């Protein structure tokens, strides 16, 4: 019996109780859905497998004490198949204990479900655009981008597991003055000249200059303006390719790469996407002209001031490209947009919500802005190539993708984070990623050893899984779908990390207390075979949880 099955049984009992009240002449309207009947695992396992406070939630509309309602519901639950007992505690809690067969049946369900276990439909029908990283293609990705990459990708994974249709989008900021400064820096390096004022330092610029000259040997013979344009375009292409490769090695993948340049390029009608966006906002009644500039009245939607979208000199602001991209996302069918931005982008929250309102959308429903906090790593050295940053590639080479992905996914986005590399490099239990991966590797080792002695899963007798550590392990396995749904709903993949750490601990305790393989000359029995199902179910959930964090599940360590 799953938590969902148990919640449904409780819900049906509550509805039956309501009908009895109505039959007695009472007017009762609970407005209750099955999703409102929540279950919790008691901290003290002696209190049962699950607990519910539903009696206290419905007491007032039913006009009865919570304890009396809980008593009625407990009596009904006792008759439900798979429920061993239901007892009332305190002011109206219901403590529920499942019989071993009902609880243990989950092990086979998990193995049969495989990679789909934990997936649900709580966000089915949601079409979401998830934008993150979106770094300027003027240099390598750094430590800040690393955190947003890990978090953004993991958020996308849990959203998809909850049934949402999600597209990861990278917005390439490849227009504006920073690109001109980038091109000028590369050209100066190619000429052997110092970095121009406001340009980009670092040996990576020199490396790009070498690659540009290899691609265009006659670069320095070109007219100055042509040489600058050529250096900028080739270096841009090379740097963007490096960014893509770095992200790919980090197990971060984007479905859409959108160029800011495209927003500014003119079509056959002589208009750019930015031009069209301004006129669309004007048609909504939120654009006005003042002092030769064009403004969006974002104060109508809670912004602290109206925003210039085109300056008096005719040049568009960054806000104009943001508007064009926002409208473009809607045109592509994305009703809901999520932006994961860095700690220095708080000003974008009101700006993007105001933009949603100006576009005719609901700012509170259709756009969501998550602000990530800074991350630092003790002892990390600045990049030799870039000089003033810690590069993603250097971090990967130093700490490994799994350790980085897991650690960055283990904390909420809005919490500052300092990583201790010494812990991440230890092969001990105080290293969380090692602890979880070792648990998975142990489940794989049990499988290999079982095969070597002829132990298989030909029999499944869940009623035999009655050891206290088996009850605790099965209770945790039941929680996984709820954890995934909650992580998706709250955009908090760290909940998955904390869950699989707890699961790993429960597995290790079970492994120490309950033998899967026969000892010595002991014949193979149904208990061994059934425990092999539980071992494999645990391995599957650990594997699924690590996958949601973009972390591998090794079979040997």
- Quick one: pLDDT at residue 378? 85
pLDDT at 383 over 70: no
Among residues 321, 470, 408, 378, the alpha carbon closest in space to that of 144 is found at: 408
pLDDT digits (tens, 9 = 90+) for 128-177: 999 999 999 999 999 889 999 999 999 999 999 999 999 999 999 999 89
Query: Which stretches of 216-362 are DSSP H helices?
Result: 224-249, 260-264, 273-283, 318-331, 347-358
- pLDDT at position 71 is 96
In-domain check, residue 294: yes
In the predicted structure, residue 382 carries a pLDDT above the cut 80: no
pLDDT at res. 384: 62
Q: Do both 34 and 133 map to the same domain? A: no
Residues 269 and 237 in one domain: no
Give yes or no: residues 512 and 432 share one domain.
Answer: yes
**Domain total of the chain:** 4
Residue 475 lies in a domain: yes
Q: Is residue 416 domain-resident?
A: no
Has residue 121 been placed in a domain? no
Average pLDDT over residues 188-211: 95
Residue with the bigger pLDDT between 1 and 223: it is 223
Q: What is the pLDDT of residue 259?
A: 96
Q: What's the sign of the alpha-carbon dihedral 227, 230, 233, 239?
A: negative
| pLDDT at res. 33 | 87
Tens of pLDDT, residue by residue over 300-327, are: 988 889 999 999 999 999 899 999 999 9
Are 260 and 371 in the same domain?
A: yes
Mean pLDDT throughout 229-242?
A: 98
- Do 274 and 339 lie in one domain? The reply is yes
CB 392 within 8 A of CB 146: yes
| Contact status, residue 69 vs residue 59, Cβ threshold 8 Å | yes
At 404, the pLDDT band (50, 70, 90 cuts) reads very high
What confidence category does residue 15 fall into, taking pLDDT thresholds of 50, 70 and 90? very high
Assign residue 447 the CATH number of its domain. Answer: 1.10.730.10
Indicate which CATH number applies to the domain containing 154: 3.40.50.620
pLDDT tens digits for range 279-295: 999 999 999 999 999 99
Strands 293-296 and 287-290: antiparallel
Name the token pair of 327.
């409208």
- Which pTM was predicted? 0.90
- The verdict on 203 and 269 lying in the same domain is no
Same domain, 132 and 188: no
Residues 269 and 231 in one domain: no
Same domain, 268 and 203: no
Model confidence at 245, pLDDT cuts 50, 70, 90, reads: very high
CA-wise closest residue to 130 among 109, 160, 161: 160
Q: Considering the domain boundaries, does residue 408 fall inside one?
A: no
> Which of 225, 249, 273 is a domain's end point?
249
**Structural domain harbouring 78:** 3-98
477 near 150, Cβ under 8 Å? no
Q: Does residue 358 surpass a pLDDT of 70?
A: yes
188 shares a domain with 68: no
CA atoms within 13 A on the CB side of 219: 26
Question: What average pLDDT score do residues 27-45 get?
Answer: 84
State phi, psi for 79 to the nearest 5 degrees.
-95, 0
Residue % of the chain over a pLDDT of 70: 99
Of 218, 249, 280, the residue that ends a domain is 249
For range 110-133, the mean pLDDT: 97
pLDDT tens per residue, range 477-503: 999 999 999 999 999 999 999 999 999
Single out the residue in 249, 281, 307 at which a domain terminates: 249
Residue 445 lies in a domain: yes
CA neighbor of 504 nearest in space, from 447, 450, 430, 448? 430
Q: 357 Cβ partners below 8 Å, 6+ apart?
A: 286, 298, 300, 301, 302, 363
Q: Please check whether residues 442 and 462 belong to one and the same domain.
A: yes
Q: Within a domain: residue 381?
A: no
Instruction: Judge whether 528 and 518 are in contact, CB under 8 Å.
Output: yes
Is 386's pLDDT higher than 80?
no
Residue 56 belongs to domain with CATH number:
3.30.1360.70
Among the listed residues 170, 246, 556, the one whose alpha carbon sits nearest the alpha carbon of residue 401:
246
Residue 211 or 350, more confident: 211
Using pLDDT thresholds of 50, 70 and 90, give the confidence band for residue 409: very high
- Mean pLDDT check: name the lowest of 33-37, 540-544, 549-553: 33-37
Reduce the DSSP state of residue 82 to 3 states and report it: coil
The answer to whether position 414 is within a domain reads: no
Query: Is 14:54 a contact under the CB 8 Å cutoff?
Result: yes
Same domain? For 464 and 356 the reply is no
């Amino acid at each position: 019996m799953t938590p969902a099955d148990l919640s449904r049984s409780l819900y049906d009992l509550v509805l039956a109780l309501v009908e009895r009240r109505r039959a007695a002449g009472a007017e009762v309207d609970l407005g209750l859905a099955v999703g409102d009947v929540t279950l919790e695992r008691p901290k003290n396992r002696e209190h049962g497998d699950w607990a519910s406070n539903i009696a206290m939630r419905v007491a007032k509309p039913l006009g009865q004490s919570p304890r009396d309602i809980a008593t009625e519901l407990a009596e009904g639950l006792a008759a439900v198949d798979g429920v061993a007992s239901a007892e009332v505690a305190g002011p109206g809690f219901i403590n529920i204990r499942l019989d071993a067969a009902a609880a243990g049946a989950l092990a086979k369900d998990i193995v049969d479900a495989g990679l789909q276990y934990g997936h649900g439909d709580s966000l089915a029908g949601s079409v979401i655009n998830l934008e993150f990283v979106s770094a300027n293609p003027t240099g390598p990705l750094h430590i800040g981008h690393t955190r947003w990459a890990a978090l953004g990708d993991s958020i996308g994974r849990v959203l998809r597991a909850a049934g949402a249709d999600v597209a990861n989008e990278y917005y390439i900021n490849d227009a504006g003055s920073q690109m001109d400064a980038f091109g000028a820096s590369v050209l100066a390096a190619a000429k052997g000249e110092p970095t121009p004022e406001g340009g980009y330092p670092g040996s990576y610029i020199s490396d790009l200059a070498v690659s540009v000259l290899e691609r265009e040997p006659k670069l320095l013979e070109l007219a100055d303006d042509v040489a600058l344009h050529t250096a900028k375009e080739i270096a841009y292409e090379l740097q963007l390719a490096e960014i893509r490769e770095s992200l790919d090695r980090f197990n971060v993948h984007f479905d859409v790469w959108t160029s800011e340049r495209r927003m500014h390029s003119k079509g056959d009608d002589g208009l750019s996407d930015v031009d069209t966006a301004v006129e669309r906002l004007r048609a909504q009644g939120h654009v006005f002209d003042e002092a030769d500039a064009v403004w969006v009245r974002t104060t109508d939607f809670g912004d602290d001031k109206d925003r210039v979208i085109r300056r008096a000199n005719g040049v568009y602001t960054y806000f104009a490209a943001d508007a064009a991209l926002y409208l473009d996302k809607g045109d592509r069918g994305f009703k809901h947009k999520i932006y994961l931005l860095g700690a220095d982008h708080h000003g974008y929250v009101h700006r993007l919500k105001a933009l949603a309102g100006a576009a005719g959308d609901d700012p509170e429903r259709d756009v969501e802005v998550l602000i990530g906090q800074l991350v630092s790593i003790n002892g990390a050295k600045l990049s030799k190539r870039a000089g003033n940053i810690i590069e993603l590639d250097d971090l990967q080479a130093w700490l490994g993708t799994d350790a980085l992905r897991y650690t960055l996914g283990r904390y909420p986005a809005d919490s500052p984070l300092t990583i201790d590399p010494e812990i991440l490099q230890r092969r001990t239990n105080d290293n969380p990623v090692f602890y979880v991966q070792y648990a998975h590797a142990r489940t794989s080792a049990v499988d290999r050893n079982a095969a070597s002695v002829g132990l298989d899963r030909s029999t499944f007798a869940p009623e035999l899984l009655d050891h206290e550590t088996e009850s605790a392990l099965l209770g945790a396995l039941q929680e996984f779908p709820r954890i995934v749904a909650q992580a998706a709903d709250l955009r908090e993949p760290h909940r998955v990390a904390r869950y699989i750490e707890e699961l790993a601990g429960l597995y290790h305790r079970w492994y120490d207390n309950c033998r899967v393989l026969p000892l010595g000359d002991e014949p193979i029995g149904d208990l061994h075979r059934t425990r092999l199902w539980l071992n494999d179910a645990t391995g599957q959930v650990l594997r699924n949880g690590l996958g949601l964090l973009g972390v591998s599940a090794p079979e040997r360590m």
